[in-house]
Chain A
């Protein structure tokens, strides 16, 4: 049944159809205002589900799509799906509002922009609210495509196209891997429904396809969420307009992979591999992203790497949180906290990263540059933007009293808990996690400070700025201000999220931990007492400040890892060598010479046939059914062989021609001997006409060297043709030696007179029993005649008369 929920999911697509019409008809009003209605109304609609999901209940609505394949558009709203749906529609509304002021009505093709954006929004809603994996995959690919379109929005720029192609290739690679993973899951469970697969997770745990399915699906999630080493597409995607970067590449699309990991945790998380892979890749990405962010000078690039690192952080917490599934009860279950932290940070990251991107967009819009080497001293010029930047960055750095502090504390707790984790006998490795996490947090602190103080602190360098800076229009500031106030609200009152959003989402990720009617206890406090986590944060601030102040002295550390070894280079090199190798291989065999192609064909068929003959032991030589050999037949055979060889090696063209005629007439003689009078007649006439034609042709080619060019004996050609000849002979002999059943020849002597009234059996077959053959043979002759006629008569412009 098609319900309101289904309509809500595809509403953005329907709205996208209307956008170009509105753009053309109502050109006076910025198209964004109409678009704004869609996510806003959807947000209101999805809020209504909160009371349902906060009781750990869910809503399912199934609309059959391809029932015979088990594919149905099953909309499923539970805590996790709703959390994402609210993020998508909520931040979507703010981003549309921001884009109304960011994109000029006159200069930009807004119709394209909003169509792509709405497509993306609908696809994203589809991803997070689908229970059917195939439908999820469909929407997943639409997010990739619409992201590709949005990144290349300014398609006349080369870097936009490069970034779009890169993100497309990488996310599509992951998408296809994921599709294979989905199919493997279907093989194991015979259903595409995530809920049903999760219900049978314990049965498939030891299935041989379990691990491949897990790895392939993780590949899809990691590429989408820009995890190490697939993070390289995200910084290049920053060529998109800033609203797109804020929406897609910080708040929503890159979290699709995180959503997938969270969603499929109940399926896979019982295996140790899942846990260590997710946590391991997450922590690596966290470190690498925050480490790389410090070296960049473009604000959006810094934010891109920071997004990469924060995504890694969320993923590592999800990985650790999955350990909770190994314990049945929620009491004394240390790892539940990690899942709560992951979800909390997911929300926090969407708020502060969205506002930071919008802040950068404002700076770019008002000063004309995003390069921190040119920026500085904007504090007094743009006080509101500065406030946004300070709050956003401090939250990102994990400083109190903002929400980032809370999630960072919870993150440290989760990482410290992993050291006590000894379920899979790798407990010694566990100690690496909190250390790496701590170092990465220091780098996070440093680049957060860079964003604030290099942009707004220091001296104003008016001569380096393309345009004179001033505060942004108020409309542009609304969205980041809303987000930044959320940062503060969630910072001071984190528990408004706890039981409305986070606990229900946790129930979706860790369903087996809860007994009937139980609730997760998510209480987030500022003050835990003098714990190790607090000292770690203090250490981050102290060491981070020190390192930030001395950044010039140690920035040489980046040259330890040379540019030529970077993953971008690897990607470029792979594409380049791939293209060149493909073109070389093609150039190697596609020579343009017909002789080469014929040689391939002959060799291929000969090899296949010979291999089959010997492989199947089909080679037989019997003389049981053969006709006796007489001398005059042998003489004819020798003549035929001789004339064929003469044709083969003769260099005078008249010799070739006469030998060809001899061949044809000898064949006619064979037809006489082998009791085929009609064949002999036809063969004689046709051979005569053919020879005449050849003669005519030769006569009319006066400019061709009188003799065919001296025929050089070509060993290669000869070997190939010898192989062909031997194959034919062997097949002929073998076929003759094996008769599987009687032929139908007994039918014709009786039937041709009784049924067809003719005594010449061959002619009766030709015109009566198998008359259709003859009809089309006539057609062939007719076409050949017409073709020859046209070829001779056809005059191309400027050609001589033939």
Chain B
């Protein structure tokens, strides 16, 4: 299963990278979102899948899934959410100020010429 999940994470990274490389601001933000999904899945996969019960002591199982990566992912999810929402508003604001959502239109004055 880990190999399948690695491939899935790879596909998510590919899709995210492709989106990030586009010129449209919204697509770039969507791309970061997709990449963070890939990263979260990869984190979970690397810890090993289905090694035991959910990490709740009340279940009284003999062995549990590793809780540490789950805690890390939880932190990462919240942070990426914060960043994504900030990016969204930033993109919105940039569009309001510059009137374009094309990153090529957002270049500063050219220093070399």
Q: Which of A634, A753, A791 is the one whose CB lies under 8 Å from B93?
A: A791
Q: Does A724 contact B (CB under 8 A)?
A: yes
Decide if B75 touches A717 in the complex (CB within 8 Å): no
CB proximity of B97 to chain A, nearest CB, Å: 7
Contact of A725 among B10, B19, B41, B93 (CB under 8 A): B10
Instruction: Determine how close the nearest CB of chain A comes to the CB of B15; give it in whole angstroms.
Output: 4
Q: Which residues of B contact A664 (CB under 8 A)?
A: 33, 37
Q: Which partner residue on chain B sits nearest A773 by CB separation? A: B75
A592 and B110 within 8 A (CB): yes
Smallest Cβ-Cβ distance to B108: which chain A residue: A592
Check if A717 sits within 8 Å of B103, measured CB to CB: no
Distance in angstroms from A55 CB to nearest chain B CB is 66
Q: Report the bound CA distance from A521 to B63 in whole Å.
A: 98
The answer, yes or no, to whether A760 is at the interface (CB within 8 Å) is yes
CA distance A671 to B44 in the complex (A): 8
Closest to B93 in A: A791
| CB-CB contacts below 8 Å: A680-737 with B | 682-683, 686, 689-690, 693-694, 697-698, 700-701, 703-704, 708-709, 711, 714, 717-718, 720-722, 724-729, 732-733, 735-736
User: How near does chain A come to B7, taking the closest CB pair, in angstroms?
Assistant: 5
Of A83-91, A251-259, A567-575, A642-650, the stretch lying at the interface with chain B is A642-650
Asked if B6 and A736 make an inter-chain contact with CB atoms under 8 angstroms apart, the answer reads yes
Closest to A636 in B: B8
A532 on the B face (CB < 8 A): no
In the assembled complex, the Cα of A708 lies from the Cα of B96 at a distance in Å of 17
Q: Is the CB of A777 within 8 A of B78?
A: yes
Residues of chain A within 8 A of B91, CB atoms compared: 697
Query: Of the candidates A621, A628, A720, A743, which one forms a contact with B47 in the assembled complex, judged by CB atoms under 8 Å apart?
Result: A743
Which residues of B lie under 8 Å from residue A277 when comparing CB positions? none
Tell me which residues across on chain A come within 8 A of B88, comparing CB atoms. 693-694, 697
Q: Given the interface contacts A598-B20, A728-B42, does A761 sit within 8 Å of B57 by beta carbon?
A: yes
A667 touches B97 (CB 8 A): no
A686 touches B53 (CB 8 A): no
Residue-wise interface mask of B (10-32) relative to A, using a CB-CB cutoff of 8 A (1 in contact, 0 not): 11111111111111101100100
Chain A residue, CB-CB nearest to B45 = A732
* Residue on A nearest B10 in the bound complex, by CB: A729
Q: How far is the CA of A369 from the CA of B30 in the complex (A)?
A: 74
Q: Are A679's CB and B26's CB within 8 A? A: no
* Contact of A66 with B by CB under 8 A: no
User: Which residue of chain B has its CB nearest to the CB of A765?
Assistant: B71
**Which residue of the partner chain B has the closest CB to A745?**
B66
A599 to B, closest residue via Cβ: B21
Query: Which residue among B16, B42, B54, B97 has the maximum number of chain A CB atoms within 10 Å of its CB?
Result: B54
With known contacts A640-B12, A748-B68, A749-B64, A690–B85 Cβ distance under 8 A: yes
Interface centre among A602, A626, A735 (most CB of B within 10 A): A626
Please tell me which stretch of A126-134, A301-309, A493-501, A583-591 contacts chain B, meaning at least 4 of its Cβ atoms lie within 8 angstroms of it: A583-591
CB contacts (< 8 Å) of A708 on chain B: these are 24, 26-27
Would A721 and B78 be within 8 Å (CB), given that A592-B110, A676-B65 are in contact? no
- In whole angstroms, what is the CA distance A671 to B16 when docked? 20
Report yes or no: B3 in contact with A766, Cβ–Cβ below 8 A.
no
CB nearest neighbor in A for B47: A743
Contact with A along B78-93 (1 / 0, CB 8 A): 1101111110111111
Residues of B within 8 A of A653 (CB): 26
Known: A721-B14, A781-B78. A749 touches B57 (CB 8 A): yes
Known: A671-B44, A725-B13. A784 touches B103 (CB 8 A): no
Q: Which residues of B contact A785 (CB under 8 A)?
A: 82
Are the CB atoms of B56 and A760 closer together than 8 Å?
yes
Question: In the complex, which of the residues A676, A704, A733 contacts B101, with contact meaning CB atoms closer than 8 Å?
Answer: A704
Whether the Cβ atoms of A683 and B110 lie closer than 8 Å is no
The number of chain B residues with a CB under 8 A from chain A is 87
A788 to B86, CA, bound (A): 6
CB distance from A524 to the nearest CB of B (A): 63
Interface size on A, residues (CB 8 A): 106
Are B23 and A595 in contact, with the CB atoms below 8 A? yes
A792 is an interface residue with CB less than 8 A from chain B: yes
Asked whether A660 is an interface residue with its Cβ less than 8 Å from the other chain, the reply is yes
Distance (whole angstroms) from the CB of A677 to the closest CB of chain B: 5
Which residues of B have CB within 8 Å of A625? 2, 48
A21 on interface, CB distance cutoff 8 Å: no
B contact face: mostly helix, strand, loop, or mixed: helix
The answer to whether A157 has its CB under 8 Å from any CB of chain B is no
Q: Are A736 and B2 in contact (CB under 8 A)?
A: yes
Distance in angstroms between the alpha carbons of A443 and B111 in the assembled complex: 51
Minimum Cβ distance to chain B for residue A268 (Å) = 46
Say which residue of A627, A678, A727 sits within 8 Å of B48 (CB atoms).
A627
Nearest Cβ in chain A — how far from B83, in angstroms? 7
A652 at the binding interface (Cβ < 8 Å)? no
Query: Are B74 and A709 in touch, CB under 8 angstroms?
Result: no
The answer on a CB contact under 8 Å between A676 and B24 is no
Q: Which of B52, B85, B110 contacts A784 (CB 8 A)?
A: B85
A612 at the interface (CB under 8 A from B): no
- A641 contacts B8, CB within 8 Å? yes
Residues of B near A761 (CB, < 8 A) are 55-57, 64, 67
Q: Which residues of A contact B13 (CB under 8 A)?
A: 721, 724-725, 728
Task: Please determine whether A728 and B38 come into contact, CB atoms closer than 8 angstroms.
Answer: yes
Kindly state the separation between the CA atoms of A648 and B13 in the bound complex, as whole angstroms: 11
Closest CB in chain A relative to B54 CB, distance in Å:
4
Chain B neighbourhood of A784, CB < 8 A: 82-83, 85-86
Q: With an 8 A cutoff between CB atoms, is A565 at the interface?
A: no
B2 surroundings in chain A (CB, below 8 A) = 625-627, 732-733, 736
Cα distance, A642 to B5, chains bound together (Å): 14
Query: Which residue of chain B has its CB nearest to the CB of A638?
Result: B8
**A729 B77 Cβ-Cβ under 8 A:** no
Known: A593-B103, A682-B77, A781-B82. A675 touches B65 (CB 8 A): yes
Q: Closest residue of chain A to B100, judged by CB?
A: A704
| B69 to A: closest C-beta gap in Å | 9
Q: Which residues of A contact B12 (CB under 8 A)?
A: 640, 644, 663, 725
- Say whether, besides A700-B92, A711-B22, A736-B3, A721 and B97 are in contact (CB < 8 Å): no
List CB contacts (< 8 Å) of A608-643 with chain B.
Answer: 621, 623, 625-630, 633-634, 637, 640-641
Chain A: minimal CB distance from B22 (Å): 7
Q: In the assembled complex, how far is the CB of residue A459 from the closest CB belonging to chain B, in whole angstroms? A: 56
CA distance in complex: A768, B12 (Å): 33
Q: Which residues of A sit under 8 angstroms from B51, Cβ to Cβ?
A: 627
With contacts A647-B34, A780-B82 taken as known, whether A686 is within 8 angstroms of B77 at the C-beta atoms is: yes
Rounded to whole angstroms, the CA-CA distance of A340 and B3 in the bound complex is 84
Which of A711, A717, A726, A784 counts the most B-chain CB atoms under 10 A from its CB? Answer: A784
Q: Which residues of A contact B99 (CB under 8 A)?
A: 703
Complex Cα distance, B65 from A675, in Å, reads 7
Bound complex: CA A689 to CA B81 (Å):
9
- Partner of B70 from the list A621, A627, A678, A758 (CB cut-off 8 Å) is A678
For B44, the chain A residues whose CB sits under 8 A away are 670-671, 674, 676, 679
If A714-B22, A736-B6 are given as contacts, then 12 extra A-B residue pairs at C-beta distance below 8 Å, sorted by A number, are A602-B21, A676-B65, A677-B56, A689-B81, A694-B88, A717-B22, A721-B13, A721-B18, A725-B13, A760-B56, A761-B64, A796-B97
The 5 closest A-B pairs by CB, nearest first: A725-B14, A729-B10, A732-B6, A721-B17, A784-B82
- A-B contacts, 25 listed (Cβ < 8 Å): A593-B103, A602-B21, A630-B1, A660-B34, A663-B12, A675-B53, A690-B81, A697-B89, A717-B21, A725-B10, A726-B10, A728-B38, A736-B2, A745-B47, A745-B64, A748-B64, A748-B66, A761-B64, A765-B68, A766-B71, A766-B74, A783-B82, A785-B82, A787-B89, A788-B89
Interface residues of A (CB under 8 A from B): 583, 586-587, 590, 592-595, 598-599, 602, 621, 623, 625-630, 633-634, 637, 640-641, 644-645, 647-648, 653, 656, 660, 663-664, 667, 670-671, 673-679, 682-683, 686, 689-690, 693-694, 697-698, 700-701, 703-704, 708-709, 711, 714, 717-718, 720-722, 724-729, 732-733, 735-736, 743-745, 748-749, 752-753, 758-762, 765-766, 770, 773-774, 777, 780-781, 783-785, 787-788, 791-792, 796, 799-800, 802
